[in-house]
Structure 1
């Protein structure tokens, strides 16, 4: 029977969380008013996560899983889940249980009221460092101000979407994906459900500062041209400062020949400043050019090493996003 609801959960080295994750999600699935599937995406885990997904599939036919041939990243794992989801209503949540599955029925009620995107908005981050809270707070507000679309603040990938929305996301060809931004870009009726984010249930944090910073840069570059314009503005400012400096140097030479400011140090500082501006501008330009390079190569977003629970392949996945390296099977390949 075709599922009415699909729950998508990316998995990366989450063996400590999978048993509790399944317990809580299955309890929510039992409460749903229609057939439900749990789609788990193994993003190249190096622990026992994949074997645990196989066991869950054998125990519960509602569980389906995808296993990447290597680690492709959280956003691509979510994208794969969207490609393979078969439900009319699709929910996305993380495996660390910071996104409470028990909130999904409330999201479904909002969906029944006519909303097609219901995103979870954090009002508090429990047991997180002040640095994490500050950087997250600052980033979301900077992104909201600079982005070309209205991306809600303090929201992650935890959301519930209608099939019409997911179909629109699945045909988007871009490779550097920022799901929460794409979710806002496509439009449709959207609303928020506020919640307090729980601490991680077990295991180590997978989104390190480096990965979080890369995701932030991806969001800014994907949905704003302001960094490119900023290079122009800084260049104009530097040119203005150079003209003023030239006038000051001329004044010092004519009227204050003994001024300590007139000398090598001033010239060196000016050269270093302009060199820094040029390098930063080239770096920003290179970020955009690099994305163009990624797009024109046209490679699949991910490769699949193993698929369980899809026989045959769902019809809405023929979009060129993945490269199939094994047939779709209901168990692990031999």
Structure 2
């Protein structure tokens, strides 16, 4: 039997909620979000704490968090030593959350805190994972909608998990799911895929995203593309098979074109065009074989790079400072 360390909540008579929020340059959004969370959480019969993870912010995010922590000990923070990325920051918060359930959300006010009671209602019904699906796209540009739809289509097509369009990192997970996540130490974790892969009983809730309160989205086009490749290569080797199929396809095209090239070169038939010396080798070799090799080597390189980084056994994140006290652990059998 494999044993893992899990937090002990047996001393509490009231269930506790932990809210985990990664933050990168969100100094203006955090006070507004905390106020909105308090309006919702203070009405509930649960204990709670809110854990902000400062992912190497360059503004006054950590100063705001320290002030809020001094005013209310339930508002806690983790400051990472540098920017480790949204998924690693989220993993840091999950690793240190001690609630009977953990709610993950972003710090830009686009994930409505008002949805939390609905999450908790489904959790009390027995669901281990309650996730959200964004259904309203009125405040999102057409480019963002198109790239989002393309992302989910690629992930579902090329990976071994199925993700519903509009799902993200706004969700509730039960304590046993959070304990299971403690076992994962993958480089560049794709948490929304990992949680889907874990199984357990899951339920989706639709919601309309709010407008970002302040600042700009941290997800540029290049980051979205990288995130898509990260998700696909984390759960499947289908891209490698795709490279093989692509190789066969280009070889077939080459085979079809070759008779035309040879005929036009040796006959000089002007009706179909004359191929000058060297044209055949340049066109066939560079455009077909050269491009094909780059594609295949790039796909293989991504997988090799993941193996290389994972073999180093480096931590997913490094904590510079935190307001969270050392948690207590029990041994739990799975």
Give the equivalent residue in structure 1 for 2:230.
218
Give the equivalent residue in structure 2 for 1:285.
300
CA 16–229 in structure 1, closer or farther in 2 if over 3 Å, else same? same
State how far apart, in whole Å, the 2-side matches of 1:64 and 1:101 are: 17
Give the equivalent residue in structure 2 for 1:73.
85
- What secondary structure sits across from 2:108 in the alignment? coil
Give the equivalent residue in structure 2 for 1:200.
212
TM superposition shift of 1:146: 2.0
TM superposition shift of 1:126: 3.4
- What secondary structure sits across from 1:188 in the alignment? coil
TM superposition shift of 1:204: 1.9
Aligned alpha-carbon RMSD (Å): 1.9
**Aligned pair 1:300/2:315, yes or no?**
yes
Give the equivalent residue in structure 2 for 1:49.
61
- What secondary structure sits across from 1:192 in the alignment? strand
- What secondary structure sits across from 1:39 in the alignment? strand
TM superposition shift of 1:161: 0.5
Q: Which runs of 5+ in 1 are unaligned?
A: 317-334
User: Is contact 2:18–2:99 with CA below 8 Å preserved after alignment?
Assistant: yes
State how far apart, in whole Å, the 1-side matches of 2:157 and 2:294 are: 25
Give the equivalent residue in structure 1 for 2:4.
none
Number of equivalent positions: 316
Give the equivalent residue in structure 1 for 2:176.
164
State how far apart, in whole Å, the 1-side matches of 2:46 and 2:56 are: 31
State how far apart, in whole Å, the 2-side matches of 1:115 and 1:152 are: 18
Give the equivalent residue in structure 2 for 1:319.
none
Give the equivalent residue in structure 2 for 1:315.
329
TM superposition shift of 1:170: 1.5
Q: How does 1:101-120 map to 2 (within 5 A)?
A: 101-120=113-132
Q: How does 1:181-192 map to 2 (within 5 A)?
A: 181-192=193-204
TM-score (norm 2): 0.90
Q: Any runs of at least 4 consecutive aligned residues in structure 1 with deviations exceeding 6 A, and if so which?
A: none
Give the equivalent residue in structure 2 for 1:260.
273
Q: Deviations over 1:201-247 (max 9, x none)?
A: 11122222222221111111112222111111111112222223333
Among 140, 148, 156, which residue is 1:144 paired with? 156
**Aligned pair 1:134/2:146, yes or no?**
yes
State how far apart, in whole Å, the 1-side matches of 2:245 and 2:316 are: 35
- What secondary structure sits across from 2:219 in the alignment? coil
